Structures are given as C-alpha cells and as structure tokens.
A and B are shown apart, each in its own frame.
Chain A
Amino acid sequence: MTVALSGKDIAVQIEEKFPGSLEDSGKDYLLVKSDSLPVIAEYLKNTDSLNFDYFNFVTAVDYYSYFEVVYRLDSTEHNHSIVLKTRCYDRDVPTVPSLAGVWQGANFQEREVYDLMGIQFEGHPNLKRMFLWDGFPGHPLRKDWNK
C-alpha cells in the first residue's frame, strides 16, 4: 500500500535544511513558501530516504483570497507519497516558480494550470496556452470568471 507520508516528520527534516521555507504542515501535506519551492523539490527528489522521483500531478484551487497550487509526488522505490502545497496571494498576476526543470512531467501540466487558472510559472520553457486559443479572454477555472 502506498503510504501517505506524514507531513509533520518531513517538516522537521526540511526545517533543518532550509529554515524559514515552511509555512505549515498537516497530516499528509506540506505547505511551503513559493520562493523556496524549487530547492525543496530538488531536496525531496534527490534525498536517499525520500526519493520522490515520480511526479504525479499538479493542480490549482481558487480560494477567493488566494490560489493554492497542489503537487502530489510519489516514490516508486519506497512506495510513499506526499502532497506539496504553495499559495499565491496575488489575483492579477500570480506567480510560482516552475518545477519543469526538476521533473519533466511538470511541463504539460503547468501549461494547463496557466491556461485555465492564469498562474504564471517562472522559468517554464514554453508557457503557452494549451487547451484554449491564444486570444481567449480570461482564465475559465477561476471562480470570478464570467463569460
């Protein structure tokens, strides 16, 4: 069975390595600050006991006052998983660093999140709209989008 790793244990490890980057941690999730996302992602991927090499999905949820970007990572070796979250509070141009350099699987999915939610991913090699055409007004999955 895939064990959903407890956020609290990993939080301790991460606070040691990268102090000040963690905002919160819960039973099975880790909430990090968006600037430190790439370093934490590298750390999670390359550390021996964690080995999160399988990028499951990335998505975003619109909670009116902030956007929450949710990543789920799995490890094929140890068969455990973790949910990584980050928040951006800007409504007009929300920005989050891109993880396409760490896992190739993030490439298409970050384009989709940009297309439907409008979140800019800094450092993404090819941030174009994926499903909708270039001149489409707005980003449909936002809660305040009205056609």
Chain B
Amino acid sequence: MTTSEMMTLKTEPFVLNFGPVHPSTHGVYRMRATLDGEVVIDLEPVVGYLHRGIEKLAEERTYGGFIPLTDRLDYISPMSNNLAYCLAVEKLTGIKIPERGEYLRVIMAELQRLANHCVAVGSFLNDAGAYFTPFMYTFREREKIVDLFDMVCGQRLTYNYMRIGGVSQDIPEEFLPALIKVIERLTIFIEEYETLLKENEILLARSKGVGILTREMAIDCGISGPVARASGVNRDLRKADSYSIYDRFEFDVPTCETGDCYDRYRVRIEEMRQSLRILSQAVKDIPGGPVKAEVPHLIRPPVGEAYGHLEAPKGELGFYVVSDNSIAPYRCHIRPTSLINLSALRDMVKGWKVADLIIIFGSIDITMGEVDR
C-alpha cells in the first residue's frame, strides 16, 4: 500500500434504526438513518405505528358523535382538533354561534396553545440534554392549565368540549378568577424561564444555525405553524383567514429570519406571550348568554363539501368534510399538520450529526396521533 492509499481510510456508511420505541421520538415513530460515523447522510421516516383508521371511522359515526374521535388525533391539544372539525361542519350547515360560545371557544383555544407550547418547549430542551429540569418546570405550568380544563369539562386529556353550534356547557363561576390567576402566574413564569435559557451558551451552541429550513422550502412543502414562521413565512391563519372572532383581538404574529432550531424555540415562547395577551382581552369582554345554538341532535347538512381550518398550536389543521345529506359524513379528510411538517425533515437533517438529528426532530414538535390518524 502506498502512503496515499494508507492516508485515505475507507469508511462505510451504516444504517441505524431509531426504532419505534425510543426515549425521545415523541411517540411511536421510526427513522432509518444512514450514518457515516456520526454524520447523517440520509433519513427515511417510517410511520404508521399509530394508524387507527379515524377517517374511515368518521363515515360510520354521526356528525356529533365524531367529536370524541377528533380528541385522539393530536392528543396534546385536543381543543383545537374539536374546534377545527366543528368549524368545518358549521361551514357546511351555516349555523351561527352565539357570542358567549365564541368567546369561550377563543379562551379554550388560546389556553390550549399555551399548554401545547409548554410541552413543545419542555421536550425540545429535554432532547437537548438538560436532564428533565426545564421539562419539569413547563409541565408544572401545564398542570395549572389542565386543572382549568378539568374544571370546565371534567377531563384532563380528551376534552370533547366543542359542539357543532357552540360549546357543550357553560363555565362554572370559579373559572374566570382562576383563569386570571393563571394568566398572571404564566406571565411571571415565562420571564423566569427566559432568563434561564435565552442566552444559555450551551443551548445556543446546540441549536443556533442547526437544521435550517429555508423559506422557499417551507412554502414548497406546505409547512405551517411555528416552524414556518421561524423560517420567515408570515402566515398565521388567525390573521390571514380569520375565523371565529379573532378579528376583534389585538395580537402580533412573531416571525424569525433564519429558520434554525433556536428560532423555532423563540417563536414558540413569543407565541405564548401573545396568547396571554389575547386571553386577557377575552376575559375582560366576555358577554353573557347561551353557549350553544339550537341544533338538532342528529344533524343532516345539505349536500356539498366544506373545508374548515384553523391555526392549531402545531400549524394549520383542517377538516375537509363531504356530506350527502345523511346523518354521517360521506368523507372526512383531516389535513395532517404533523405529517406535512415532517416532510422536510430529510432535507433539514442531511449533513448534521446524530445529536442534531434528535434536536431538529424535537424542534418540529410532532405528535404521532396526527401523523398516523
């Protein structure tokens, strides 16, 4: 062997399987990564471990009876799923929601956004290696929000609170004072959290410049939500295609420029602040009155189709409902936010190391219930 032959060591790439059972793949998700040493060359996502056939089940349930199933889609933020489905069916039937119902819907949706971002930020930092400490802190705050939901609908995870025509029941008396306390507490908490993490050297070194998603690729893949806004796509459905009564509230839409993991983390923290703003305005202006419109128990929408979408905490969640004037939907398709956000993972990860693969995947914030349905 000549010296030059000895100098170039031949290495072989190998396939490492990050199996469905893994401490940080956010559910049952499998990736087959081709690695050259520690550098990721290729990535193949394998999904389908949580496929329950919810779209087929929709054809056998009534319109109102499908709402509990929508809870199980993105189980970290069920209120948004319920609301998206109800918006789609209300577009089909043209039902008008009473004022108090609309305000309650906005309050629940924004509280859900806060709870979801608590989980997202906590598990992002957990993947970065801070051994559960930020995770515990954010979950402590999420407990307060989940207690509020418990007060309203008796459930801690699958709320089944929205109905076609409004919400299912009115809030008890102690809800609004408790909500005001939570808003104050969360405002202080976000400040505390930021001082610990915003300028942390190690977090900056791990996530700044890592896993960049360019603006063109984000739009081409159809990516929405905080991931897209961190890449510079200024599209928030609460402003771009305003639904419910969001046009009455004042809030900003945070965007960032680069589209790396650090930007996605910053966008989520800023969104939490904006949600607190919306909540304080909603709590002040909430009127009295009924919370649900008078709709028959078994709805029969006219023949047609409608697409109702909203800005769920993870992105644009939409329901495409086709009706043939019977008591069950003819076809109900769910626009899967997490699956679409996942489609750019391969390009985001090429060239980075194994440790970055985990942190990039964690920063997209995916729930397998929505990917697989």
Contact = CB atoms under 8 A, between A and B. Distances in A.
Given A107-B343, A131-B48, A59 B219 contact: no
Interface string A45-65: 000000001111101011000
Contact of B219 (A53, A70, A112): A53
Interface in B222-246: 222-223, 233, 235, 240-242
Contact of B222 (A1, A56, A59, A62): A56
A126 to B, nearest CB: 9
A65 B135 CA distance: 53
A57 B331 CA distance: 15
Nearest to A112: B339
A141 B48 CA distance: 15
Contacts of A72: 307, 320
Interface in A40-89: 53-57, 59, 61-62, 70, 72, 76, 79, 83
A103 B220 CA distance: 5
A108 B342 contact: yes
A116 interface: yes
Given A131-B48, A131-B372, A141-B56, A55 B222 contact: yes
B221 A76 contact: no
Interface string A107-141: 11100100010000000000000111100000011
Given A2-B240, A108-B343, A59 B372 contact: no
B340 A62 contact: no
Contact of B221 (A105, A130, A132, A140): A105
Contacts of A1: 240-242
B219, B241, B335, B372 interface centre (most CB from chain A within 10 Å) = B219
B333 interface: yes
Given A76-B235, A79-B240, A103 B222 contact: yes
B222 A54 contact: yes
Nearest to A140: B56
B350 to A, nearest CB: 14
B221 A104 contact: yes
Nearest to B55: A141
A77 B320 CA distance: 24
B322 A109 contact: no
Contacts of B151: none
B198 interface: no
Interface in B73-93: none
A62 B320 CA distance: 14
A59 B321 CA distance: 11
Contacts of B53: 140
B223 to A, nearest CB: 8
B50 to A, nearest CB: 9
Given A61-B330, A108-B342, A130-B47, A55 B56 contact: no
A85 B280 CA distance: 43
A79 B239 CA distance: 11
Contacts of B372: 131
Contacts of B339: 108-109, 112
28 contacts: A2-B241, A53-B220, A54-B235, A55-B222, A56-B222, A57-B318, A59-B331, A61-B331, A62-B331, A70-B320, A72-B320, A76-B233, A76-B235, A79-B241, A103-B220, A104-B217, A104-B344, A105-B223, A105-B340, A107-B343, A108-B340, A109-B340, A116-B55, A130-B47, A131-B48, A132-B48, A140-B53, A140-B56
Interface of A: 1-2, 53-57, 59, 61-62, 70, 72, 76, 79, 83, 103-105, 107-109, 112, 116, 130-133, 140-141
The 5 closest A-B pairs by CB, nearest first: A105-B222, A131-B48, A2-B241, A59-B333, A131-B51
Given A54-B219, A57-B333, 13 more contacts: A2-B240, A53-B220, A72-B307, A103-B221, A104-B217, A104-B220, A105-B223, A105-B340, A112-B339, A116-B55, A131-B47, A140-B53, A141-B56
